[in-house]
Structure 1
């Protein structure tokens, strides 16, 4: 039997379900969850200073066991280089787009706070700039994100677990569990 994972990154296209999956995985493993969007976005949707955010990530993951979700490739630097595995939610574009549209409309209607007072707005869904419209961001970044993680999977570094459907993700997640105490 292999030892349970202790340091895991969850990555994928915006809207693929990284945060929900990462929360469930962290719970299954009994380790802290770190949402990188919360770390890198400050109040008013202002991006935090990259050095400060990286120091925050290091502080949150300093305990040796964690699950972190989010891409943030250019800002993250080496802050999570000690990951044992990268779980890549590589779902078909139709699945991701349906999820991101549903999630964004729900967040816009409910005005639910995400972090630091930030909320999604329905107005953003009609903006033409992907930087302001998460649905367009998911659409335009889909191929780029797939290419990045395919290269990671083919290269040296942590093990990449590529999950290509919500069903395969649920199945893999059900196989993960926190270590049981010895009797």
Structure 2
């Protein structure tokens, strides 16, 4: 894995951003796309159909998007992970302290979306806050339940996809420093 302050071996063209719900994947992916010049696809937007049902066209849409030379998206949804990883050349892993950073973020985001009745994808909105107690897959409960997922996935990812450079970012400070300098590849002579 590359450190946040270590230059990349090459300019990334196809970038994945990994992390648990609330880590800031979509925000960072958008910022990376702005630097690399490729499009950003919020993968949630093509996964969720009306009433939170998975869209049957999801994998077709993923394949279409990743056929381009340059792109950035979030690395999620088990059905798409392999397709995404095969085409990627960089994976940025947001591995922030869960209780101190990620959990408060997912709580603020969820409550804010619900209070504003913000439409997300295909007419969907956050569920009523009381469903935290009744829905096993409520986004906050999901974040809590899956908080160790990437710690388990990353060693396997590194072995299975050696062509993908992995950068692990453990704080917002590391994110900012990496975006300012390390996203640019080292110059070789």
Q: How many residue pairs are counted as aligned between the two chains?
A: 174
Indicate which of 112, 118, 121 corresponds to 2:124: 118
Contact 1:19 1:70 in 2 (8 A): no
* Whole-angstrom CA distance in 2 between matches of 1:29 and 1:156: 21
TM-score (norm 2): 0.83
Which of 1 and 2 has higher RCO (CA within 8 Å, sep 6+)? 2
Instruction: Say which of 62, 67, 73 aligns to 1:57.
Output: 62
The match for 1:86 is: 91
Matched, 1:149 2:154: yes
* Cα 1:124–1:42 shift into 2, 3 Å: farther
Structure 2 counterpart of 1:11: 18
TM-score (norm 1): 0.86
Q: Kindly indicate whether the alpha-carbon contact (under 8 Å) linking 2:66 and 2:87 is maintained by their aligned counterparts in 1.
A: no
Residue 128 of structure 1 contacts residue 136 of structure 1 at CA under 8 Å; is this kept in 2?
no
**Could you tell me how far apart the structure 1 residues matched to 2:47 and 2:153 are?**
20
Q: Distance in 2 between matches of 1:85 and 1:67?
A: 9
Mapped partners of 1:78, 1:150: distance in 2: 15
Q: Which runs of 4+ in 1 moved over 4 A?
A: none
CA contact (8 A) 1:152 1:160 kept: no
Residue among 116, 127, 136 paired with 2:133: 127
The root-mean-square deviation of aligned C-alpha atoms, in Å, is: 2.1
**Correspondence 1:30 to 2:37:** yes
Which residue does 2:52 correspond to in 1?
Answer: 45
**Structure 2 gap segments, 5+ residues each:** 1-6, 185-189
Matched residue of 2:122: which SS?
A: coil
Question: Is contact 1:32–1:67 with CA below 8 Å preserved after alignment?
Answer: yes
76, 100, 106: which one aligns with 2:106: 100
